[in-house]
Amino acid sequence: MTRALTLDDLLYAGIAIAAGLLAAFLLRMLLRWLGRHAERTSWRGDDVLVDALRMIAPWAAVAGGAAFAAAALPLTRTVHHNVNQALTVLVIVAATVSAARVVAGLVQTVTQSRSGVAGSATIFTNITRILVLAIGFMVVLQTLGIPIAPMITALGVGGLAVALALQDTLANLFAGIHILASKTVQPGDYIRLSSGEEGYVEDINWRQTTVRALSNNLVVIPNGQLAKTNMTNFMRPEQELTILVQAGVSYDSDLEQVERVTTEVVAEVMTEITGAIPEHEPAVRFHTFGDSRIGFTVILGVGEFSDQYRIKHEFIKRLHRRYREEGIRIPSPARTVALQQGTVVFPQQRDAEPEPSDMTLTRPI
């Protein structure tokens, strides 16, 4: 039997609860102050830790005050055990949620620091968060006296059935993990698939990869399809790349002059246009005797894939203007068509009797 409740018992219990609430308030103020200082640092991990402590520390203080209050009151052994068990569960839940925040935040920080982009791969963040919450849930069950061994066995048998039913989903999950672990694709990379889809990788989650096209539309690609298709990553191994621009001049052009003028335009574009590589060495390579022109390739350096459109635009405009100033002619394409055993009537021969013959006709296209 327990003794009767007295005024002193209530006083001690009230003091314990008040002390717990006061400690929770002071801890919250202290952590808010630490949070402001953590925001000034470049490492995001301290922000994650302080944010997690903001939740667990006040609740732990409140639970501690309630536990001291329960100890001061003349409760029965059963009631006292139930109160302690409920407070323990409360602390475990708060600690589990805080731990999930910390682990997920640290994983996200590491992912961002390694990929060097603003986007994040949520697949690792979600997996770690689920694992921590699952461990906390089992600890809560063990604290409440519920055996978890049969539950784990049942989950193992049921997991096999679920795995068979969710083959595609699991294939996408493991494909996403493989893609990120192999570092062939990271958020922020510009990719192009053999099926034609291309754009910046926004995120890789447990089922799909989100790609933002240059038109600002989102393309959703299942991870399994992304892992199996042929893909070009324009950001790896380096973000800088070279692009080729095809051009041609007439046969009566001075090729030394053409090369000199073109090189000057390339150097000008590389220096003045945003997104170009100033240290890129201009390169002009003649390669073809065409039907109506001598073809050559101009090699330009760009800092990032989407910069090529602006750089090509400016280069073609400036090269065309310089060619006109220098008197360098870019001929229109022409095609030679052979007509065998045909009859062609030209305007100036309309009065003459046409004769079947083998002749050639050259016309612009």
Long-range CB contacts (< 8 A, 24+ apart) of 108-115? Answer: 109/43, 109/44, 109/45, 109/48, 111/187, 112/44, 114/186, 115/186, 115/187, 115/188
Tens digit of pLDDT for each residue in 148-162?
777 777 767 666 666
Average pLDDT of span 3-18: 75
Return the pLDDT at 316. Answer: 94
Among 303, 299, 239, residue whose Cα is nearest residue 275: 303
Return the pLDDT at 255. Answer: 94
Average pLDDT of span 195-204: 87
Residue 358: pLDDT band by 50, 70, 90 thresholds? Answer: very low
Higher per-residue confidence, 13 vs 287: 287
Higher per-residue confidence, 259 vs 81: 259
Return the pLDDT at 285. Answer: 94
Higher per-residue confidence, 236 vs 321: 321
CB atoms within 10 A of CB 84: 15
Among 243, 250, 234, residue whose Cα is nearest residue 297: 243
Average pLDDT of span 298-325: 91
Higher per-residue confidence, 112 vs 108: 108
Return the pLDDT at 341. Answer: 54
Among 91-100, 123-132, 205-214, 283-292, the range with the most confident prediction by mean pLDDT is: 283-292
What percent of the chain lies above the pLDDT cut of 70? 79
pLDDT above 50 for 121: yes
The burial of 55, by beta-carbon neighbours within 10 Å (0-12 exposed, 13-18 middle, 19 or more buried), is given as: middle
Give residues with Cβ within 8 angstroms of 200, minimum separation 6.
Answer: 188, 189, 190, 211, 212
Tens digit of pLDDT for each residue in 317-350?
999 999 999 999 988 766 656 555 555 444 444 4
Return the pLDDT at 216. Answer: 87
Average pLDDT of span 71-91: 77
**Please, what is the average pLDDT of the chain?**
78
Tens digit of pLDDT for each residue in 238-251?
888 888 999 999 99
Return the pLDDT at 324. Answer: 92
Average pLDDT of span 271-285: 88
Return the pLDDT at 336. Answer: 59
Return the pLDDT at 59. Answer: 77
How far is residue 324 CA from its own chain's centroid? 45
Q: Is 259:284 a contact under the CB 8 Å cutoff?
A: yes
Buried b (16+ CB within 10 A) or exposed e, 283-294: bbeeeeeeebbb
